[in-house]
Amino acid sequence: MRQVYINGAYMPETKAKISVFDRGFLFGDAVYEVTYVIDRKLVDYQGHMTRLRRSLGEIDMSLAMTDADLLAAHRELVKLNDIDEGLVYLEVTRGAADRDFIFPDASVPNTVVLFTQKKSLMDAPAATRGLNVLTVEDQRWERCDIKTVQLLYPSLAKTRGKAQGADDVWFQRDGYVTEGSSNNAYIVSAEGKIITHETNNDILHGITRKAVMDTLADLGLDFEERPFLVTEALEAAEAFSTSSSGLVTPVVSIDGKQIGDAKPGPVSKQLRQKYIEGIRRRAI
């Protein structure tokens, strides 16, 4: 049975329990990270922990665990669950306290949970097939840069998208694409320029995004960080998304309109390959 981590202890998933008063449960008062594991090693782990600390800071939440404790917990779970390839999920909540909109005293201990998921992302069928994406209104709050567990809208939007035959949804504000339901969104123009939303409060500052931007610079590919219109995306030569759970995934249609020749394009394929080569080298 899968072993999980909860507040300093490792135990079978059926034994782990959380209080009904946990603020993660009552208020969505929690932040999280998802780290990709390849060859039993953590990918861009430091980036995830830096972003975790930033998310915590933005919502005035303290965390008693040190970076060394967190790393040890990630590694122990990978070992206990024999994860050759997959994901480690980490969630930190503000802990359990009688229900009140005002945050409890900082002395209330956090709830910290980690679990793993075995998954083959490297060979995901979506990478060779490409995704069909629908654009929907971005109805999330205005601090999408904070990785909170308030994921109801993305979950609702993706479920509705799936019911309409799509693989994923891309959010748009005033006609401009912000990002995907759980990934960053990109287009490649007819001239070969890669365009993606700049890192402000409208999007999550993806760890995969950062690695892909570094790869673009290394390859000498032309890119621009700015919002792009849905109408611009429909005319793009290629499109793709990036995330820890999808790596670099080509998009082959948007709102029913085929992108390029409806097959993963050369830029997306090259970036996925270079990204995978890079993470295999740097994983710890």
Residues forming the site for ligand PDD (CB under 6 A): 34, 179, 182-184, 204, 206-209, 242-245
How far is 281 from 263, CA to CA, in rounded Å?
A: 29
Cα 119 to Cα 253: distance, rounded to the nearest angstrom:
25
Sheet with 85-93: list strands edge to edge: 9-12, 3-6, 111-118, 85-93, 30-38, 41-42
Catalytic residue among 147, 158, 210, 257: 147
Which CB atom, from 3 or from 243, has the smaller least distance to ligand PDD? 243
DSSP letter at 105? P
- Would you list the DSSP string of 202-265? TS---HHHHHHHHHHHHHT--EEES-EEHHHHHT-SEEEEEETTTEEEEEEEETTEEPTTSS--
- Comparing CB distances to ligand PDD, the nearer of 258 and 273 is 273
By beta-carbon proximity to ligand PDD, the closer residue of 93 and 96 is 93
**Nearest in space to 110 (alpha carbons), one of 55, 153, 159:** 55
Cβ at position 214, least distance to ligand PDD in Å: 13
Nearest-approach distance from CB 16 to ligand PDD, in angstroms: 20
Within a 13 Å sphere around the CA of 257, how many CA atoms are in the beta-carbon half? 15
Cβ nearer to ligand PDD, comparing 137 with 235: 137
Tell me whether residue 257 is exposed, middle or buried, using C-beta atoms within 10 angstroms of its C-beta: 0 to 12, 13 to 18, 19 or more: exposed
**With respect to ligand PDD, which residue has the nearer C-beta, 23 or 209?**
209
Tokens representing residue 14 in the block? 């059926």
SS3 call for 77: helix
C-alpha span between 22 and 107 (Å, rounded): 15
Smallest distance from the beta carbon of 139 to ligand PDD, in angstroms? 13
For the question of residue 147 being annotated catalytic, the response is yes
- Residue closer to ligand PDD by CB (options 40, 119) is 119
Is-contact 36 121, C-beta < 8 A?
yes
Spatial CB neighbours of 206, under 8 Å, sequence gap ≥ 6: 179, 183, 184, 242, 243
> Known catalytic residues?
147
